[in-house]
Structure 1
Amino acid sequence: MSDQLRHSNLEKTYNHHDVEQRWSSAHWEELGVYEAESSRVLEGGKESYTVLMPPPNVTGSLTLGHVLNHTLQDIFIRYQRMQGREALWLPGTDHAGIATQTVVEKKLRKEGISRHDLGRREFLDHVWQWRDEYGGLITRQLRKLGISCDWRRNLFTMDERASKAVRHAFISLYRDGLIYRGKRIINWCPVSQTALSDEEVIMKSRKDELVYVSYPLVSRPEESITIATVRPETILADVAIAVNPEDPRYRDLIGELCVVPVAGRHIPVIADSYVDIEFGTGALKITPAHDPNDYDVASRHNLPVITVVGRDGRMIDDFGYRGMDRFEARKKIVHDLEERGNLVRTEEYEHNVGYSERADVVVEPYLSEQWFVNMKPLAEKALEVVEEGEITFHPRHWLSTYRHWMENIQDWCISRQLWWGHRIPAWYDSEGRTWVAESYEEACHLAGTDKLVQDEDVLDTWFSSWLWPLTTLGWDGGHCDNDDIRAFYPTSTLVTGPDIIFFWVARMIMAGLYFKGEIPFRDVYFTSIIRDLKGRKLSKSLGNSPDPLKVIDTYGTDALRFTIVYIAPLGQDVLFGEEKCELGRNFATKIWNATRLVFMQREKYFTDMDEFSSMYREFRPDPDACSGPERWILQRYHALLEGYHQAFRQFRLNDIVRSLYEFFRGDYCDWYLEAMKIELDTAAPEDARAKVCLAISVLEGVMKLLHPVMPFMTDEIWHHILDRSAEESISLQAMPQPLEQWRGLDVGGFGLVQSIVSEIRSIRALFSVPHDMEAEVIVKASRQSAVAELQSYSPIISGLTRSRVDIVVDAVRPPRSASAVVDGHELFVPLKGLISFEKEIARLEKEVANVMAYVKRLEKKLSNQGFVANAPEEVVRKEQEKLHEAQDNLEKLQANLHVLSD
């Protein structure tokens, strides 16, 4: 054996730090392995496959959500690349308007500066400086995850190309009558002092007081109508009391006037079917400036609008609360209502309240003038293409959620009261007229004057990201036609969280259809939601969100990637605890050790790497020349390939990693390699070399299948199989395909051998036979014709069970022997000399007594009619399952005791 061959083996212990450093993203990028070119599609005839990276916030850092999402994308793109497609993964980051401005303003406040001190231009210089210095953290961390993007194409949503596309989109929609400016109730953040999209509002459970307040009738002061509210501070802005027209309690009060407590204003009682008869008292105060539903009611009834809470969350009323924080005013007005005799009662009330995602304060419904997109015309076609199957959701059940939202869609508030973002391309003249244009110069030309002032607001961050499928492929707002768009649009698979199905997925579909006339992608894979082991969503406030970089440092990137997909079935939540990564780390170690074992056999039977390479490159397994275990592993391997490719077509990535895990640990390691070691002991040199080549060829195939999931380790092992240069990569190898000749192949008696081995191992375990003691096994064959085949496998049976095997047709069961039946063949294992009968009988008798007592307790519990009648059905069912399991266990124990007592 040469030093060259010895050198080609792996280090004794798997060290993920070394392996991941050696095959880092920087190495792959330097080689240009993941660069995709439109020419290879348009001129070379290759089929394209494109994935869009949901752009992480430029302020962000790696989370487990990113790990799952980007690992899934990487699996798709690596698989399709190895399938021979021109695979393009388009990366980028989002400017994250509110988040980024908040971070920079916080930094400036520490220096005693506000953005208003600096002015807009200088403040934006600070933001760009911050972005250049700190904004690349998330992309550096994603590289550590090993993702295979074409990083040359990395796009930032504030890059000039993207900005031009945003301006063009706004102008086109405005000129088509789909963007307008108007007054609406929107989500308002009193801290950031900007409108928020629904996505930027986090719903939290909160306990408040439900306050019951009486409103005296003007015509009958001794009578009143009682309402219930959790926002008593907005009583000062009430303009009506609404009741349901079908509610008999209030039918005679419709049209009457009431007195608003504290404010003293007279307001009407109106009838509106919006009112829920069952909630509170069935009477609802209408405060149109502070509730979107109340605003709709007020619009239907031509009611005035009064505002009492300002932009900063402080009161602006004229009734003695001006300047108070809204929550302080709430306490004060409840006290005042009680003093005035209008407080009926209070009770605790738990409900969901919207909080600003960034500022973590309660969002204020606020009436203001904003820019909106008319969504209904855009939504109709976007719903149609999904319902007709042009775009497929995985899992499919998200279609109903999508349909509900699209059929009940509201206009989109796209303006934000920020400085960081795409400034709205609208200018106003001295008469208040609006001029929407690409630039100030164009606006002046349209207006016929240079006395114009640009709108101060910027666009919602989502207004740039809904154009993502186009801008990432080079669209800048002009004609949607360039080589990249022709080659890679529509994109293939979008991987994203279901929580942004409305805010991003639906809007991208609308934008693609409106600006390009085509769908933006063909498949949408909705990821699982990651929760902790108690089922809670991961959050910093709960302290239950592990740092992925620390997990990677402890367990390795491959281990984390493998684990998180292994535990994430399509459409189901993921319960994640850091310790679950033991699964991935142990699997990586198993792969490493099994590979070392096979490579050591290579060292034993080949003189040097040249000899091995020459034979291995030409090696093609011949079914007729293969032994039973070899035919069996090849049949199993090709069945794995069929299932693997089928699972990819069906987007069942969890099934893929589970099948690979089970095949490698069980089929390849536990059965095939163990049998191979035994066969090698008696094989002729040429046969032994063929066996080693077969073992390595299956190993290499599995490494290719595993590569999309565990890219680092698989590239390392692949480079050790043959003398390959660092410039080569497993990423560019062809994915193995199933061969017809191995489908349904007769694998001989190896399946029977496995069953026999399993039964012998089970007997040894049941009777606590020490592992290092050799047992005697008598196989009473059911027919003479089976003896020869079983005898050919006797070395494997012996080696896998540490036993001496005798195969006969006319055997008699020896005394005190354990037995089993496998496919009509009887197995006898004499126990004399293997165990202490006295000790084992005593142990079994004690265990039988314990199990009998347990069975009696369960039987007594289930015979109690009170328990059966009153306990939940699921509880009763579980107790019955426990009883059946205990009874089966008792039967086995008694049978074993009978054998020893014979």
Structure 2
Amino acid sequence: MTENPAEDASRSAPTTLPPAYSPSEVEGPLYERWVQRGYFTADANSDKPPFTIVIPPPNVTGSLHIGHAFEHTLIDALTRRARMQGFETLWLPGMDHASIAVHALVERALAAEGTNRRELGREAFVARVWEWKEQYGGAILSQMRRLGDSVDWTRQRFTMDDGLSLAVQTMFKRLYDDGLIYRAERLVNWSPDLRSVLSDAEVIHEDVEGELVSMRYGSLDDDQPHIVVATTRVETMLGDTAVAVHPDDERYAALVGTEIELPLTGRRIPIIADAHVDPAFGTGAVKVTPAHDPNDFEIGQRHRLPMLTVMDEQGRITGTATEFDGLDRFEARTAVREKLRDQGRIVAEKRPYLHSVGHSERSKEPIEPRLSLQWFVKVAPLAAAAGDAVRNGTVSISPPELDSRYFAWTDNLHDWCISRQLWWGHRIPVWYSPDGSEQVCLGPGQAPPEGWRQDEDVLDTWFSAGLWPFSTLGWPEQTPDLRKFYPTTVLVTGYDILFFWVVRMMMFGLYAMDGNQTGSEPFHTIALHGMVRDQYGKKMSKTRGNGIDPIEWMDRFGTDAVRFTFARGANPGTDVPIGEDAVGGSRNFCNKLWNATRFALINGATVSGELPAELSGADAWIVSRLNNVIAEVDRLYEAYEFAKISDLLYHFAWDEICDWYLELAKVSLAGEDTSPITRRVLGEVLDGLLRLLHPIIPFVTEALWTELTGGESVVIASWPSSDAKRIDPAAEAGIEAMQDVVLEVRRFRSDQGVKPSQRIPARLSGLAGYEAEIRTLLRLSEPGSEFAATASLVTAAGVVIELDLSTAIDVPAERTRLGRDLAAAQKEVDATAAKLGNEAFLGKAPDAVVAKIRDRHAAAQADIERITAALSSLPDA
């Protein structure tokens, strides 16, 4: 098969397509034309059924990374297909204000200027952040255009817009009024650097080399009460309020219920029994610091222990009335340990000691579990509703095997800390009177009386993100957009934020939209994908140096090649290994489509007029295959099987259309009676193929489809539908039989050392049609008067092919080559037979090794048979 079929064209027709595809010249102008013509703008007053997707809002600080590009490709494919199917399609774009990320960037800029946010003051700092957002934020939006995202730019949203801010305040008030928001002291993830709570999503756990120090509490006299505990954080012992042992641990039974001296503090603390303690770990006794450890907090609640906070918001020791007050936590760790050593209380030290420590994703510092007064959402009833919506089928998860992961979150959620000690974000709409009472107010229009002060904290970014599917459509107002486009159709997102975002959207959507006439669920389907990894399956990271910039790939290979690579690797719920070689292969595929369409246009392919009702031969076969492929693509889209869709279309385009049909078409294009039909079939098949491929590779398909059809745009073309009447099993069987003959003869020619381009005289018998096609594909000429068969073969279907190879090969050289191959095969047979006949080897070798030897032996025997047959079929020299 030729790489560029256009160069083999047998007749010429005008086409404006350049000889080669240049993505950089095509992509930008096409995208701007789509936007200007309003193809992506949704109409809330349309009678068409809605199809809605909201974009997982990227951070305003962000740029298009490999995960975004992958996810957006899948969302765009669904959106473009729905548009072609006749839905009123809305893909709503926007960005998240990203409290902590923006704080970190702006504070870093202030530090470079020699100041900080506290010196600037809240109002000036927030104004500075808005300036930063306008100047630097939203770079990802232009990159989304580069990727081809068919989003409705007229509806672009930002989580700090006035409308979305009102939605946040309204949701807070409703939850507050229903008793689902409360304020309490709880243990939280604390960032001393930011002086704020962090969400679990903003904490990354890393194994670090620390120390495990065993220290003695109580008397230094072995005959007096004492106990040994071990810790990786010596400094927190200043806040201990108990020592815990397991209730069944007989070693400490006599001590339970007594008190013991806590070194360095002058306090006495109880020894308690709690089933949480693992008696097999260390000494079986653990220090309990309820205000600075999550497990200890739970023990403290069960036993009503005092909860002493011994660190301030900057991570400095405070309130202990010891010499350590004022020390940074890490300085205190060393100072406390050395003081205990001076007293003879250090029993053992293990250093380095590998253990997991939570770190701030932004500042990289170790987070500090800290008891703090915060705002919380009581999630139990909300989470139960979110779980029930999936259990009763209102919302489905794809792939369904990830249901259990979803339920693991909804069924085991703890109350959600929603307050953050930051200034950029949605400020908590709670106001306090001078006498301590509080009131929730929705915006300046409902400000409380003079003298009241507003809560200083802002809400967790995930609070506003949880409202995204309906706040972006105008809620709490009953807008035309909300009535038309809610609930959204499908959420496409990674399984890694199933809890952080998906569950919260489910909780808030079901709660806020309860009673909505079209349904309260935020989406009908949750389609989960995996993470993009490098070609070796490793997680991408700056540390490993294996990260990929999708923009760089788009510059080198074209956007369609990058998108097709993503789609071809996207199996539901599983991670996606991707390497540069795969993108290069996708670029070759785009070039193949370009060349095939040029060939068709040069040969007069047309979409004008009805396709003939009766087709035969290769024309009937390829039209049948097209309709089968359409039906299969539709089925796979319903299951979000992007990889299978892409693979099916790749092989249909490359293998069936380019490698077979275009070559077969050359025969019928040369005939006056058959050429008009084949030109119409060529147009029909490429029209259908380009429509099927458009959602995944929009740019090259737009350029080719408009040239082929003369239509306005494939973006607004109708989605192909499968016509069962066009499916012709007999035609498919006939071509498959012909293909088998061609492949067998090609293998035979290769075995004989005949070049693929060499024309060989041949006589064929036993064919059930397709002789002209077979001769064209195999470069077999008609036998002349001097024809003398020097080789022949009988195919599996009984077709006899007699060949005159007398002038096609150098017989002596070919005998020499085959002789070498035969000797090598015989050597392999002998070597593997020796191993398989060795009982000692068979007794010791693993089964997999023995199986591999047997496979090699069988393959070598097959080679001997093949080479022997080739030698015997050579003509006499």
- The bucket for the TM-score relative to the shorter chain is over 0.9
d(CA) in 2 for partners of 1:806 and 1:232?
Answer: 95
1:767 alignment partner AA: Q
- Matched with 1:12 is 19
Residues 93-104 of structure 1 correspond to what in structure 2 (within 5 A)? 93-104=95-106
1:388 to 368, 392, 401: 392
Residue 210 of structure 2 aligns to a residue in which SS? Answer: strand
- Kept after mapping to 2: 8 A contact 1:419/1:458: yes
| CA deviation vs aligned residue, 1:149-173 (integer Å, no higher than 9, x gap) | 1110001000000001111111111
Residue 113 of structure 1 aligns to a residue in which SS? Answer: coil
Quote the offset at 1:327 in angstroms: 3.0
Residues 370-519 of structure 1 correspond to what in structure 2 (within 5 A)? 370-439=374-443, 442=446, 444-445=448-449, 450-475=450-475, 477-478=476-477, 481-517=478-514, 518-519=520-521
- Matched with 1:92 is 94
- Kept after mapping to 1: 8 A contact 2:826/2:864: no
Does 1:133 find its partner at 2:135?
Answer: yes
Does 1:271 find its partner at 2:279?
Answer: no
- Matched with 2:682 is 695
| CA deviation vs aligned residue, 1:852-877 (integer Å, no higher than 9, x gap) | 55566667777888988888x7xx43
Residue 738 of structure 1 aligns to a residue in which SS? Answer: coil
d(CA) in 1 for partners of 2:503 and 2:754?
Answer: 63
- Matched with 2:730 is 746
- Kept after mapping to 2: 8 A contact 1:563/1:584: yes
d(CA) in 2 for partners of 1:138 and 1:878?
Answer: 52
1:773 to 758, 761, 785: 758
Residues 620-659 of structure 1 correspond to what in structure 2 (within 5 A)? 620-623=611-614, 626-659=615-648
- Matched with 1:596 is 598
Q: Do the aligned partners of residues 840 and 350 (structure 1) sit closer, same or farther apart at CA in structure 2, a change above 3 Å counting?
A: farther
1:797 to 738, 759, 774: 774
Quote the offset at 1:186 in angstroms: 0.6
Does 1:762 find its partner at 2:764?
Answer: no
d(CA) in 1 for partners of 2:836 and 2:331?
Answer: 58
Quote the offset at 1:338 in angstroms: 3.9
Residue 679 of structure 1 aligns to a residue in which SS? Answer: helix
| Count of paired positions | 852
| CA deviation vs aligned residue, 1:76-133 (integer Å, no higher than 9, x gap) | 0110110111111111110001111111111122222211222111111111111111
Gaps of 5+ in 1: 604-611, 782-786, 808-812
Quote the offset at 1:398 in angstroms: 1.8
Does 1:352 find its partner at 2:339?
Answer: no
Two-structure CA RMSD over aligned residues (Å): 2.6
Residue 755 of structure 2 aligns to a residue in which SS? Answer: coil
- Matched with 1:31 is 37
- Kept after mapping to 2: 8 A contact 1:89/1:149: yes
d(CA) in 2 for partners of 1:838 and 1:587?
Answer: 41
Q: Do the aligned partners of residues 879 and 490 (structure 1) sit closer, same or farther apart at CA in structure 2, a change above 3 Å counting?
A: farther
- Matched with 1:243 is 245
d(CA) in 1 for partners of 2:310 and 2:68?
Answer: 42
d(CA) in 1 for partners of 2:315 and 2:754?
Answer: 76
- Matched with 2:6 is none
- Kept after mapping to 2: 8 A contact 1:430/1:452: yes
Quote the offset at 1:10 in angstroms: 0.8
Q: Do the aligned partners of residues 235 and 567 (structure 1) sit closer, same or farther apart at CA in structure 2, a change above 3 Å counting?
A: same
2:188 to 186, 207, 210: 186
- Kept after mapping to 2: 8 A contact 1:855/1:883: no
Q: Do the aligned partners of residues 805 and 223 (structure 1) sit closer, same or farther apart at CA in structure 2, a change above 3 Å counting?
A: farther
2:609 to 597, 618, 623: 618
d(CA) in 1 for partners of 2:807 and 2:148?
Answer: 56
Q: Do the aligned partners of residues 298 and 150 (structure 1) sit closer, same or farther apart at CA in structure 2, a change above 3 Å counting?
A: same
1:363 alignment partner AA: I
d(CA) in 2 for partners of 1:365 and 1:857?
Answer: 66
Residue 332 of structure 2 aligns to a residue in which SS? Answer: helix
- Kept after mapping to 1: 8 A contact 2:188/2:370: yes
- Matched with 2:706 is 719
Quote the offset at 1:555 in angstroms: 0.5
| CA deviation vs aligned residue, 1:409-466 (integer Å, no higher than 9, x gap) | 1000000010000000111222333222224674635xxxx22111110000111111
- Kept after mapping to 1: 8 A contact 2:829/2:860: no
- TM-score, L = length of structure 2: 0.92
Quote the offset at 1:814 in angstroms: 6.5
Quote the offset at 1:331 in angstroms: 3.8
2:429 alignment partner AA: P
Moved more, 514-523 or 594-603: 594-603
Quote the offset at 1:804 in angstroms: 3.7
- TM-score, L = length of structure 1: 0.90
Moved more, 331-340 or 270-279: 331-340
- Kept after mapping to 2: 8 A contact 1:779/1:805: no
Q: Do the aligned partners of residues 455 and 879 (structure 1) sit closer, same or farther apart at CA in structure 2, a change above 3 Å counting?
A: farther
Q: Do the aligned partners of residues 806 and 114 (structure 1) sit closer, same or farther apart at CA in structure 2, a change above 3 Å counting?
A: same
2:40 alignment partner AA: Y
- Kept after mapping to 1: 8 A contact 2:570/2:641: no
1:10 alignment partner AA: L
Residue 350 of structure 2 aligns to a residue in which SS? Answer: strand
Residue 749 of structure 1 aligns to a residue in which SS? Answer: helix
- Kept after mapping to 2: 8 A contact 1:436/1:443: no
- Kept after mapping to 2: 8 A contact 1:188/1:196: yes
d(CA) in 1 for partners of 2:142 and 2:835?
Answer: 60
- Kept after mapping to 1: 8 A contact 2:245/2:284: yes
Residue 495 of structure 1 aligns to a residue in which SS? Answer: strand
| CA deviation vs aligned residue, 1:388-422 (integer Å, no higher than 9, x gap) | 11111111122101111111110000000100000
- Matched with 1:145 is 147
1:78 alignment partner AA: R
d(CA) in 1 for partners of 2:662 and 2:839?
Answer: 55
- Matched with 2:54 is 52
1:799 alignment partner AA: T
d(CA) in 2 for partners of 1:285 and 1:852?
Answer: 74
d(CA) in 2 for partners of 1:898 and 1:655?
Answer: 40
- Kept after mapping to 1: 8 A contact 2:535/2:577: yes
Quote the offset at 1:777 in angstroms: 4.7
d(CA) in 1 for partners of 2:782 and 2:859?
Answer: 30
d(CA) in 2 for partners of 1:334 and 1:537?
Answer: 38
Gaps of 5+ in 2: 1-11, 515-519
Residue 734 of structure 1 aligns to a residue in which SS? Answer: coil
- Kept after mapping to 1: 8 A contact 2:192/2:314: yes
Residues 248-397 of structure 1 correspond to what in structure 2 (within 5 A)? 248-263=250-265, 265-316=267-318, 317-339=320-342, 340-397=344-401
- Kept after mapping to 2: 8 A contact 1:561/1:710: yes
Residue 586 of structure 2 aligns to a residue in which SS? Answer: helix
Does 1:887 find its partner at 2:861?
Answer: no
Residue 423 of structure 1 aligns to a residue in which SS? Answer: coil
Quote the offset at 1:833 in angstroms: 4.3
| CA deviation vs aligned residue, 1:711-752 (integer Å, no higher than 9, x gap) | 11111111111444xxx2211111110112122442062221
